[in-house]
Amino acid sequence: MLVEPGTLGQTVEEIVQRHGSLPTRLLQILREVQDSLTWLSPEAMDVVAKALGLSPDKVCRVAEFYSFLYTTPRGSYDILFSDNITDRMLGSRQLLRYLCDKLGVGIGQPRADGRVTVGVTSCTGMCDQGPAALVNGYALTALDKPRLDRIASLVNQLAPLSEWPPEYFEVTTNIRRADILLGRHFADGAALRAVLKRGPEAMLEELVKSGLRGQGGAGFKLALKWISCRDAPGAVKYVVCNADEGEPGTFKDRVLMQEYADLVFEGMTLCGRVIGARQGFVYLRGEYRYLLEPLTVTLQRRREIGLLGKNILGEPGFDFDIDIHLGAGAYVCGEESALIESLEGKHGVPRIRPPFPTTHGYLNQPTVVNNVETFAVTAKIAAEGGAWFASRGTLESKGTKLLSVSGDCERPGIYEYPFGVTVRRVLEDCGARDAQGIQMAGPAGHTISPKQYDRRICFDDLSTGGSFMVFAKHRDILDGMRNFAHFFVHESCGFCTPCRVGTSLLCDLVDKVHTGHGARADLDEMRRLGRIMKAGSHCGLGQTAPNSVLDSLDQFPEAWMRRLRSTSYEPAFDLDASLGEARRLSGRDDPGAHLPDEYSDMVRLAGLLAEREAPLSDDERNLLGVMP
Amino acid sequence: MNGGPLFTIDDHPVLFQDGQTIMEAARAAGVYIPHLCFNPEFAPHGSCRVCLVKVNGRTQASCTTPAMAGQVVQSETEELRDIRRGILEMMFVEGNHVCPACEKSGACQLQAVAYYVGMLASPFTYFYPRRALDASHPDVVIDFNRCILCELCVRASRDIDGKNVFAVQNRGIQAHLVINTPSGKLGATTFSITDKAAQVCPTGAMMIKNQGYGSPIGSRLYDQESVKIVGDVAQVPESEGGRRHE
Ligand SMILES: Cc1cc2nc3c(=O)[nH]c(=O)nc-3n(C[C@H](O)[C@H](O)[C@H](O)COP(=O)(O)O)c2cc1C
Ligand code: SF4
Ligand code: SF4
Ligand code: FES
Ligand code: FES
């Protein structure tokens, strides 16, 4: 696995050349360099920079931005546990500690022999088959102690991944309910034949008629986007499929890319024909690395049968091809302009908008960015007609939606429903009998309490990209809120003040309350912070990061109140703990060197009294030393 | 008032030219909108978020939003003041801004804007990060504790000086300013006191050596008049207490 230092230059040069020495391939190059060297040393980054003619700080910027790229040494085996709340519900934290003990390694630190690191990462999109992890970028599912025992010994034996039990890497699709998208057969090429027969203009009319809106979450009218890109000035245009699927709790794009890739590619090719683009890109999240080879095979097969490449279906000038770019662990890269930056090989800070990608996208050329599911649906509409699609769903939300259901239910997996389905219906179908709440549309979405189970899933009511995480009665909803707050701290790109600082401040407050140190003033501060972040952040990440905290304050006030100390204000520092240094210096640790317990009781009591007019009880008098 | 497209800020009509942002048009019309990462000599950046306004009811950064005819812009409302104040508070807790011990105090645009939006102390918990000073350069000290990541020095050094001395690395709350040399030290670069990059910092993060306390606190740039009247520290000549070299 490791490369001799003497051959470092050669290894890197080879990789760079394989990518045509293109700076737009920088992220892909760094991924591969790391695959051979386990981390990106300053020397390796220097060679990359020279070979691409970039300044070293640009290469470093990219390497430091993505969480799957390492600028400090890692183990030859890099194991990352998925840290979504649904993994935690399935016991992932205990398993993480179990494996660390077994391997004799601390979290995030390489073992002394350099063989292994164990850490955590944001949701890997295996919520219906967790606890999940990644090993050297490849998905591991359904982890339990016996599997970890085996993994520990495979690591200690230096067994290559190809010798690990293949079932550890098995990813199932768990399609539980199929409707018009997943259920009906689609003949490869049907959409492309339709566009050749009827022309791009007629296809656009079908798409207008269908009322299709983007399935990534924001719900932008699809036909408007394609038309505006088609009409934008620019000789070269691009089609980009957003397969970043970073929202914790969603995995429907993974299922589409695994089982319905032809449908997605066909939708992209259709788009190319309609807007006049010859090049498409799939931006595949790094967590779905295991799909890269199968997808490459599918693309090749499509070229061979004339559905991709030059003169598609024999039509002169109908040229379109698709490249797959892998992400490297950055939720913000799901935001379309950050995604484009990343496709260009850069770090993923969202651009200033306007201008929008439809006029200034990839390499500043007009670009359509759509979600995986959206492209799949367009292919179906091209083949079957817009009216057929529009007959499903509600007035404002036509067609169907794929939901990724996970958490406390009997049948987690993918459910396709016509838009307008109630939360209650989904809960019944997935076997969630005692749900105390749902996190809809991921941490950036809505926290729903039972009062709201009759609300409808559609753009005019509960909009969603598809994540649906169920919390049963026995759960502490604040465990979820805390998990989400940490997620956003980890994923903020750091460009703008409200999100960079606000996510950390909010997270500290959630931690403070969750550990029983909060007071009412902290809840007010959360609300104010949330307002500032929503109004002030540069992109959707910061604007939605406080949603789950704000929603849960409204929907589950008792969950928050339960945790509060009864004072209206509680200092963020612990007076007794801050005496620790003095104790250390003086070598004292006897009871006299600690503040008495009553001290904190007195602080609490003083807070209570400040809010209450009733006379003191005997206990209170005693504690305060007041004579009766 | 002669013809041309118009929008309003807090009910005052503002004339603008096509291609101008709300910030640029407001500036040209003499309407102050607080800002830190905006500098009229550079392309807008949009990162500090202090310049937030409401445009037809939606909160947006005025330095990146194109002016359009008929826009109704609100700027000096209590709601926006509170949001701007909150953002300033975030900047102060993220770094270490010990204004009484800072040579820039009184001539610091960050401090002046904080006063302008009515920020006195932050209710948020201070992070107290540990960031080392860089005094390796003969003429300039960098105090990373006072950096607000406006990237003006980054842009100036890269786009005007052609030296690319500064960069931001890492992400999220780990994002920080670095010096582009293997040692990470300013002294190892070709950075010079006459560089544009030495004249743009809105805070006390970049300080000229050997010339402290030229004017007493109380009679400095922003001590007599608000930033609304005085303007950006980068636009005021050094002789008048600003940063611009003549
Ligand atoms: C922080 C953030 C993350 C996002 N992640 C995704 C994603 O993983 N997949 C996706 O399709 N859209 C994501 N989006 C939305 C995209 O910016 C964009 O709206 C979408 O890809 C457009 O496709 P659609 O119209 O087909 O939904 C994200 C947006 C934000 C702000
Ligand atoms: S809101 Fe700001 S800091 Fe957060 S991800 Fe978006 S641009 Fe980056
Ligand atoms: S040093 Fe000054 S100019 Fe440079 S990024 Fe920091 S605050 Fe901005
Ligand atoms: S001045 Fe507009 S965001 Fe900084
Ligand atoms: S007074 Fe503001 S940074 Fe020094």
- How many C-beta atoms surround the C-beta of residue A354 within 10 A? 11
* CB distance B205 to ligand 4 below 6 Å: no
| pLDDT score of A184 | 86
Tell me if B83 is assigned to some domain: no
Is residue A468 within 8 Å of residue A493, measured between CB atoms? no
Residue B95 lies in a domain: no
**How far is residue A457's CA from residue A476's CA, in Å, rounded to a whole number?**
25
The answer to which of A303-307, A574-578, B29-33 has the lowest mean pLDDT is A574-578
Residues 6+ apart with CB under 8 A from A316: none
B72 close to B8: Cβ distance less than 8 angstroms: yes
Report the top-level CATH class of A478-563. mainly alpha
Taken as a whole, chain B contains a residue count of 246
Is position B114 within any domain?
yes
* Ligand with minimal distance to A496 CA: 2
Question: Of all residues in chain A, what percent carry a pLDDT higher than 90?
Answer: 88
Torsion (CA) A134, A136, A137, A143 in degrees, nearest 10: -20
pLDDT of residue A615: 56
Kindly give the distance from the C-alpha atom of residue A30 to the centroid of ligand 3, in angstroms, as a whole number: 29
Mutating to test ligand 2, I would choose from A244, A488, A539, A544 the residue with most ligand atoms within 8 A of its C-beta, which is A539
| CATH number of the domain within which B13 lies | 3.10.20.740
Q: Is B102 in the pocket of ligand 5 (CB under 6 A)?
A: yes
DSSP string, A214-243: -TTTT--BHHHHHHHHHHSS-S--EEEEEE
Query: What SS3 state is found at A178?
Result: coil
How sure is the predictor about A567, in pLDDT bands with cuts at 50, 70 and 90?
A: low
**Mean pLDDT (whole number) for A539-561:** 98
Whether the per-residue pLDDT at A617 is higher than 90: the answer is: no
**CA geometry: angle at B152 spanning B73 and A27, to 5°?**
100
With an 8 Å Cβ cutoff, are B169 and A354 in contact? no
Does the pLDDT of residue A67 top 50, yes or no? yes
Cis peptide before A200 (omega within 30 of 0): no
Query: Which is nearest to A226 in space by CA: A191, A268, A185, A258?
Result: A268
Structure tokens given for A357: 């990608």
Q: What angle do CA A443, A449, A454 make, to 5 degrees?
A: 110
Q: Return the pLDDT at B215.
A: 84
Sheet with A446-448, edge to edge strand ranges: A175-177, A413-418, A400-407, A467-472, A435-440, A446-448
What six digits make up the tokens of A519? Answer: 């007071």
CA proximity to B148, closest of B108, B115, B188, B185:
B108
Per CB-CB distance under 8 Å, the chain A contacts of B168 are 61, 494
How far does CA B217 lie from the centroid of its chain?
A: 21
Count of domains observed in chain B: 2
Euclidean distance between CA atoms A48 and A26, whole angstroms:
8
- pLDDT, one tens digit per residue, over A420-447 is 999 999 999 999 999 999 999 999 999 9
Which residues fall within 8 angstroms of residue B79, CB to CB, at 6 or more apart? none
Number of helices (H) and strands (E) in chain A: give both, helices first. Answer: 28, 14
Maximum CA pair distance of chain A?
100
- Ligand 3 centre to CA of B177 (Å) is 8
- Mark residue B56 as left, alpha or beta (left: phi above 0; alpha: psi -120 to 50; beta: remaining): left
Report whether A472 contacts A432 (CB < 8 A).
Answer: yes
Cα angle A181, A471, A488 (rounded to 5 degrees) comes to 80
Ligand 1 centroid vs A323 CA: distance in angstroms?
19
Chain centroid offset of residue A65 CA: 15
- Its CATH architecture, for the domain A176-390, is 3-Layer(aba) Sandwich (3.40)
Tell me, yes or no, whether B90 lies in a domain. Answer: no
Q: CB–CB of A334/A491 below 8 Å?
A: no
| Ligand 3 site, residue B48, Cβ cutoff 6 A | no
Chain A (538-557) residues lying within 8 Å, Cβ to Cβ, of chain B? 538
Query: Quick one: fold of A400-475?
Result: Ubiquitin-like (UB roll) (3.10.20)
DSSP-derived secondary structure letter, A350? P
The angle that helices A261-275 and A372-384 make with each other, rounded to 10 degrees, is 80
- What is the reported pLDDT for A71? 97
- Over range A360-372, report the average pLDDT: 98
Same domain, B54 and B119: no
Asked if residues B145 and B195 have their Cβ atoms less than 8 Å apart, the reply is no
Strands A435-440 and A467-472: antiparallel
Per-residue pLDDT of B117-157, as tens digits, reads 999 999 999 999 999 999 999 999 999 999 999 999 999 99
Residues B177 and B134 in one domain: yes
Q: What is the DSSP letter of A127?
A: G
B219 part of a folded domain? no
Q: Check pocket membership of B106 for ligand 5, CB cut-off 6 A.
A: no
Q: Which two tokens stand for residue A621?
A: 């008098």
- Give the pLDDT confidence of B170-202 residue by residue, as tens digits: 999 999 999 999 999 999 999 999 999 999 999
Q: Residue A543 carries which side chain, given as an amino acid letter? A: Q
The one-character DSSP state at A331 is: G
pLDDT at B4: 81
What's the CA-to-centroid distance between A537 and ligand 2, angstroms? Answer: 6
Q: What pLDDT score does B25 carry? A: 98
Six-digit token pair at A117? 């690191």
A602 touches chain B (CB under 8 A): no
Q: Which of A347, A505, A536 sits opposite B52 (nearest CB)?
A: A536
Measure the CA–CA gap between A484 and A482, rounded to whole angstroms: 5
Question: Band of the pLDDT at A6, cuts 50, 70, 90?
Answer: low
Give the CATH fold of the A5-65 domain. Answer: Arc Repressor Mutant, subunit A (1.10.10)
The pLDDT score that the predictor gives to residue A627 is 39
The answer to whether residue B240 sits within a structural domain is: no
pLDDT tops 70 at residue A611: no
- Residue B39 contacts residue B23 (beta carbons within 8 Å): no
Query: Would you state the pLDDT for residue A573?
Result: 64
Q: Alpha-carbon distance A603 to A566, whole Å?
A: 10
Q: What is the mean pLDDT of chain A?
A: 93
A3 has a pLDDT exceeding 70:
no
| B152 and B59 inside one domain | no
> How is residue B81 written in tokens?
């003041």
Q: Which of A62, A501, A528, A574 to mutate to test the interface with B (most CBs of B within 10 A)?
A: A501
Band (A625; pLDDT cuts 50, 70, 90): very low
Mean pLDDT of B90-117: 96
Q: Which residues of B touch A504 (CB under 8 A)?
A: 127, 172-173
pLDDT at position B246 is 73
Quick check: B90 and A489 CB within 8 A?
no
What is the side-by-side strand order in the sheet with B133-134?
Answer: B133-134, B140-143, B206-208
- The whole-number pLDDT of residue B213 equals 77
Nearest CB to B90; choose among A495, A497, A525: A497
Partners of B174 on chain A (C-beta within 8 Å) are 494
**Residue A337 with chain B: CB contacts under 8 Å:** none
For residue B94, list chain A residues with Cβ-Cβ distance below 8 A: 497, 500-501
- Neighbour-count burial for A517-539, b at 16+ CB within 10 Å, e otherwise: bbbbebbebbeebbbbbbbbbbb
Residue located nearest, by CA, to atom 8 of ligand 3: B150
Percent of chain B with pLDDT over 70: 99
Residue-range definition of the domain harbouring residue B145: 107-210
Cα of B95 from ligand 3 centre, angstroms: 12
Choosing from B93, B97, B145, B207 the residue with most ligand 5 atoms within 8 A of its CB, the one to mutate for a pocket test is B97
- As a whole number of angstroms, the distance between CA B59 and CA B75 comes to 10
Same domain, B60 and B111: no
- Residue A2 pLDDT greater than 50, yes or no: no
Q: Cβ of B174 and A60 within 8 Å?
A: no
d(CA A351, CA A356): 9
Q: Tell whether B2 is within 8 A of chain A (Cβ).
A: no
pLDDT computed for residue B211 by the predictor: 82
Does A624 have pLDDT greater than 80?
no
Contacts (Cβ under 8 Å, ≥6 apart) of A377: A181, A212, A215, A267, A389, A399
CB < 8 Å from A in window 185-244 of B: none
Task: State both tokens at A356.
Answer: 């929008």
Nearest residue of B to residue A499, measured between CA atoms: B172
Alpha carbons B43 and A436: distance in angstroms, whole number: 50
Residues B113 and B205 in one domain: yes
What is the third-level CATH fold of A77-172? Glutaredoxin (3.40.30)
Q: Domain extents for chain A? A: 5-65, 77-172, 176-390, 400-475, 478-563, 579-624
Name chain B contacts of A530, Cβ cutoff 8 Å: none
Confidence band for A314, pLDDT divided at 50, 70 and 90? very high
Termini Cα distance of chain A: 78
Report if pTM > 0.90.
Answer: yes
Given a contact cutoff of 8 angstroms between Cβ atoms, the answer to whether A77 and A136 are in contact is yes
Judged by a CB distance cut-off of 8 A, whether residue A62 touches chain B is: no
- CA-nearest residue of chain B to A354? B65
Cβ-proximal residues to A530 (8 Å cutoff; 6+ apart), any chain: A506, A546, A547, A549, A550
The verdict on B71 and B130 lying in the same domain is no
Residue A237's alpha-carbon distances to A255, A328, A337, B230, in angstroms, are 28, 25, 15, 47
H or E segment to which residue A17 belongs: helix A8-18
Distance (angstroms) between ligand 1 centre and the Cα of A216 equals: 5
pLDDT tens digits, A106-118: 999 999 999 999 9
Q: Which residues of B touch A42 (CB under 8 A)?
A: 182
pLDDT tops 60 at residue A371: yes
* pLDDT of B108 above 50: yes
For A81, phi then psi, to 5°, come to -80, 135
Closest ligand to A494 CA? 2
Rounded to whole angstroms, the Cα distance separating B183 from B82 reads 42
State the first-to-last Cα distance of chain B, in angstroms, to the nearest integer. 35
* CA of B88 vs chain A CAs: smallest distance (Å): 9
- How far apart are the CA of B153 and the centre of ligand 3, in A? 6
Q: Kindly list the distances between the CA atom of residue A227 and the CA atoms of A232, A381, B140, in Å, as whole numbers in the listed order.
A: 9, 16, 54
Stronger pLDDT, A618 or A118, i.e. the higher one: A118
Note whether B68 and B158 are same-domain residues: no
Asked if residue B133 and residue B54 are part of one domain, the reply reads no
Residue B234 in any domain: the answer is no
Rounded mean pLDDT, B96-119:
96
